[in-house]
Every structure is written in structure tokens, then in C-alpha cells.
């Protein structure tokens, strides 16, 4: 799933900015290096997210209208 997301971001006009917001284990790539890197290496550079961080980012993307899916609330009634 992350591979598909990064592939999508590489085609988007503001993909580099969204990619930088995803979080890194090390220093992020420069804008000049972004188009030359393979998708696999771009994914490997990302930091692993906790379940809470995934939920937070999912909700933020939904608020901005970038995704329309509803997430299942695990702690609901």
C-alpha cells in the first residue's frame, strides 16, 4: 500500500511536499534527488508509524478532502 501511495505522490504536482510530511528515519531527500530515486528506496527512507499516528494522518487527509473513505472507529459503541 505504501508503494502505491509513493508512486501516486511521484506523479502529483505537490507530491514531494506530501512525501516530506510522512516522516523519515534519517534526513529527507532533497527536491532534486526525489525524481531520480526508486520508489523502493523512497519507501525505505520513511519512518514506521504507530497505529495512532496512522489514524491521526488518515483523519487529517480526510479533513483536507484528499480521501473520502471513513475509517472504522475501534473504540465506538
In a domain, 10, yes or no: yes
Alpha-helical (H) ranges within 1-77 are 2-11, 15-20, 39-44, 51-63
Range of the domain at 21: 2-48
pLDDT tens figures, 38-48: 999 888 888 88
In a domain, 64, yes or no: no
In a domain, 75, yes or no: no
In a domain, 14, yes or no: yes
In a domain, 55, yes or no: no
Number of domains in the chain: 1
- What's the pTM value of the predicted model, to 2 decimals? 0.59
In a domain, 77, yes or no: no
Which is more confident, 23 or 25?
A: 23
Mean pLDDT along residues 48-64? 83
Amino acid at each position: 500500500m505504501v508503494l502505491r501511495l509513493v508512486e501516486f505522490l511521484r506523479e502529483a504536482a505537490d507530491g514531494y511536499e506530501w512525501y516530506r510530511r510522512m516522516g523519515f528515519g534519517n534526513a529527507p531527500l532533497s527536491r532534486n534527488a526525489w525524481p531520480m530515486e526508486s520508489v523502493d528506496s523512497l519507501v525505505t527512507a520513511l519512518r514506521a508509524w504507530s497505529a495512532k499516528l496512522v489514524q491521526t494522518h488518515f483523519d487529517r487527509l480526510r479533513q483536507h478532502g484528499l480521501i473520502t473513505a471513513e475509517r472504522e472507529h475501534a473504540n465506538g459503541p
